[in-house]
């Protein structure tokens, strides 16, 4: 972060100095984790659902925190605010505004029901090839993670890639008010968090917030393969309410659906035996470092931003080929005992479930097994959407489906007439391991996928490293 004094932080956050010298300066980072505090840092005490950061103010102070931001009475000198989460956002907004005024910072925002994290990984790798770039670790895309990412920017930062998630209307508007976008990318509209919105139409309306209220000169990049996204061109507007000019809107397509609209399309798409896509766009041919044809659109979105910035797409493509992808996202592990683990356990919604099942169905294997957990935040559609996933698994011809705390998936498998797919339902991850471990054998390929709250990533971690299980 740029250096700021305690008084400047108080002004930015609407806070009050309590026992804190106004001239004390933050020379380090901003963090919400007291274990990460170093001398000169700013510690923001967040009162979370499970852990209250105010309990660790003394730890942060002893570690050398120059400024502590708190919303409760604490003994250490601090900046007192009404809400530390709000204050974190306002602090990020102030830092970004100063960097825009004094330098050449470009902010790119990415949203969508699926693919945000992979796209920001690919785009972050691509832009880092050209200039200092900040992009989120893991999936920092909410009203805590997004500002923390922004606060990593300093005077040397040329590009900020901001992953922006939303589980309710208005959230993207709030995030873009903190980090106004020069380029807004919308990937797709799906059932993720539909329980917080009500319907797919409501999800689309919320996602369209990303392309509204844009600064002058900003651009929108939209998925031509998703009609709900493509039609957002009609509501894309500047902060003053004026519509974006047609030249400020670009599209991307993995299915050659541009229909004379400006943008990037993928041609000559092929998959290698491990499901990794190779394709050509803008004269560059690249092979993705991640399994699944559905990631072609994520890569196109990233390259579209590169192209819009006037950078070399071919050079960016080489960087994307070497990109490091966040954990638990279509991570393929070929174990020494001949068992292959496809770990996509970070999160799940109906669209990404079906995409992962399609990938599994095309991978070489003696048996194709899917360990599927619950999809959270589905609202009243939960049972139906889980059953549809089960049907998709059966129709894809998988050999075995194990559902964890998601019985309707198993019911969906059994509902497909004539299916020979084995279906088991268990209630815990430990039960799933007990069932799987003695039966996995050489030649099996196992997909593991569920919402983050299902915790199947822990099963994936164990199975991806365990060498002595199976027959």
Within this chain, do residues 159 and 41 fall inside the same structural domain, yes or no? no
288/143 same-domain check = yes
Q: How many CB atoms lie within 10 A of CB 295?
A: 25
pLDDT of residue 192: 67
* Own/partner pairs, 455-460, CB within 8 angstroms, 24+ separation: 455/373, 455/429, 456/345, 456/371, 456/373, 456/404, 456/429, 457/327, 457/328, 457/343, 457/345, 457/346, 458/429, 459/345, 459/371, 459/429, 459/432, 459/433, 460/328, 460/331, 460/341, 460/343, 460/345
Residue 23 binned pLDDT confidence (cut-offs 50, 70, 90):
very high
Is 347 domain-assigned? yes
Residue 149 has pLDDT above 80, yes or no: yes
**Domain count for the chain:** 3
pLDDT score at 69: 98
Question: Residue 137: what pLDDT?
Answer: 83
Q: What is the CATH number of the domain that holds 11?
A: 3.40.1390.10
| 68 and 135 share one domain | no
Same domain? 250 vs 131: yes
Q: Is 215 domain-assigned?
A: yes
At 64, list the tokens. 């050398």
State the pLDDT at residue 193.
60
Which CATH number is 366's domain given? 3.90.190.20
Residue 60 has pLDDT above 90, yes or no: yes
Tens-place pLDDT, residues 396-415: 999 999 999 999 999 999 99
Q: Write down the pLDDT at residue 42.
A: 98
Tell me: do 237 and 126 sit in the same domain: yes
- 280: tokens are 């050509």
Instruction: Report, as an integer, the average pLDDT of 345-361.
Output: 93
- Any domain includes 93: no
pLDDT on residue 195:
64
pLDDT band, residue 469 (cuts 50/70/90): very low
In this structure, the answer to whether residues 117 and 248 fall within a common structural domain is yes
Question: Do 115 and 186 fall into the same domain?
Answer: yes
Q: Are residues 316 and 353 in the same domain?
A: no
Question: Is pLDDT above 60 for 243?
Answer: yes
Q: Give the model confidence (pLDDT) of 322-348 as tens digits.
A: 999 999 999 999 999 999 999 999 989
Domain shared by 72 and 216, yes or no: no
Q: Is residue 278 situated within a structural domain?
A: yes
Q: What is the model's pLDDT at position 467?
A: 53
On whether residue 63 sits in a domain, the answer given is yes
Region of 310 please: left (phi>0), alpha (psi -120 to 50) or beta.
Answer: left
Same domain assignment for residues 449 and 428: yes
Collapsed DSSP state (helix, strand, coil) of residue 373:
strand
Q: What pLDDT is stored for residue 468 in this prediction?
A: 42
The residue-averaged pLDDT of 171-182 equals: 96
pLDDT of residue 139: 73
Q: Considering 53, 86, 119, which residue would you say is the last residue of a domain? A: 86
Please, which pLDDT band fits residue 377 given cuts at 50, 70 and 90? confident
Q: Which of 258, 291, 321 is the last residue of a domain?
A: 321
Q: Is residue 471 part of a domain?
A: no
Residues that constitute the known binding site for ATP: 112-118
- Over residues 166-189, the mean pLDDT reads 94
Q: Select from 321, 344, 369 the last residue of a domain.
A: 321
Domain assignment present for 119? yes
379 and 267 within one domain: no
Q: Where are the alpha helices (DSSP H) in 322-469?
A: 350-362, 382-395, 407-414, 429-436, 456-465
**Selected residue with higher pLDDT from 192 and 341:** 341
176 phi, psi to nearest 5 deg: -75, -20
> Which residues, 6+ apart, have CB-to-CB distance to 6 below 8 Å?
17, 20, 21, 22, 23, 24, 25, 26, 66, 67, 79
> What is the span of the domain harbouring residue 181?
104-321
On the question of pLDDT at 383 being above 60, the answer is yes
377, 290: one domain: no
pLDDT digits (tens, 9 = 90+) for 452-466: 889 999 999 999 886
Evaluate whether residue 20 is within a structural domain.
yes
pLDDT digits (tens, 9 = 90+) for 414-466: 999 888 999 999 999 999 999 999 999 999 999 999 998 899 999 999 998 86
For the segment 294-322, the average pLDDT, to the nearest whole number, is 98
Average pLDDT in the chain: 94
CATH code at position 151: 3.40.1190.10
Residue positions forming the annotated binding site: 112-118
Confidence of residue 196 (pLDDT cuts 50, 70, 90): low
Question: Which tokens belong to 203?
Answer: 């999800």
């Amino acid at each position: 972060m740029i250096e700021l004094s305690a008084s400047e932080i108080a002004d930015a956050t609407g806070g009050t100095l309590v026992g804190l010298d106004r001239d004390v300066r933050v020379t380090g980072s901003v963090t919400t984790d007291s274990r990460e505090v170093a001398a000169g840092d700013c510690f923001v005490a967040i009162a979370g659902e499970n852990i209250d950061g105010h309990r660790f103010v003394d730890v942060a102070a002893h570690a050398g925190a120059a400024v502590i931001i708190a919303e409760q009475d604490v003994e250490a000198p601090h900046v007192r605010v009404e809400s530390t989460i709000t204050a974190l956002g306002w602090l990020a907004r102030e830092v970004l505004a100063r960097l825009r005024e004094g330098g050449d910072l470009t902010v790119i925002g990415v949203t969508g029901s699926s693919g945000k994290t992979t796209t920001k990984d690919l785009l972050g790798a691509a832009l880092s090839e050209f200039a200092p770039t900040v992009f989120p670790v893991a999936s920092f895309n909410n009203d805590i993670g997004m500002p923390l990412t922004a606060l990593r920017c300093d005077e040397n930062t040329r590009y900020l890639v901001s992953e922006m998630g939303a589980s309710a209307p208005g959230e993207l508007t709030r995030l873009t008010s903190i980090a106004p976008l020069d380029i807004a990318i919308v990937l797709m509209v799906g059932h993720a968090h539909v329980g917080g919105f009500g319907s797919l139409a409501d999800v689309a309306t919320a996602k369209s917030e990303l392309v509204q209220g844009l600064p002058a000169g900003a651009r929108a990049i939209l998925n031509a393969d998703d009609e709900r996204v493509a039609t957002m061109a009609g509501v894309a507007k500047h902060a003053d309410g004026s519509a974006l000019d047609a030249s400020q809107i670009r599209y991307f397509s993995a299915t050659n659906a541009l229909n004379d609209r400006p943008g990037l399309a993928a041609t000559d798409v092929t998959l290698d035996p491990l499901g990794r896509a190779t394709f050509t766009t803008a004269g560059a041919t690249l092979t993705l470092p991640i399994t699944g044809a559905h990631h072609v659109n994520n890569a196109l979105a990233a390259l579209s931003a590169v192209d819009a910035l006037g950078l070399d797409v071919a050079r960016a493509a080489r960087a994307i080929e070497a990109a490091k992808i966040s954990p638990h996202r279509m991570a393929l592990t070929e174990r020494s005992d001949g068992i292959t683990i496809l770990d996509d356990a970070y999160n799940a919604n109906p669209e990404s479930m079906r995409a992962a099942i399609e990938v599994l169905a095309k991978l070489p294997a003696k048996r194709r097994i899917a360990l599927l957990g619950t999809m959270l935040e589905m609202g009243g559609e939960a049972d139906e959407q889980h059953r549809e996933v089960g049907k998709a698994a059966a129709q894809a011809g998988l050999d075995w489906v194990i559902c964890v705390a998601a019985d309707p998936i198993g019911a969906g498998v059994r509902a497909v007439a004539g299916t020979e797919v084995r279906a088991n339902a268990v209630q815990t991850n430990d039960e799933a391991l007990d069932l799987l471990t003695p039966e996995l054998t050489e030649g099996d390929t196992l997909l593991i996928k569920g919402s983050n709250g299902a915790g199947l990533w822990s099963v994936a971690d164990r199975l991806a490293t365990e060498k002595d299980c199976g027959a």
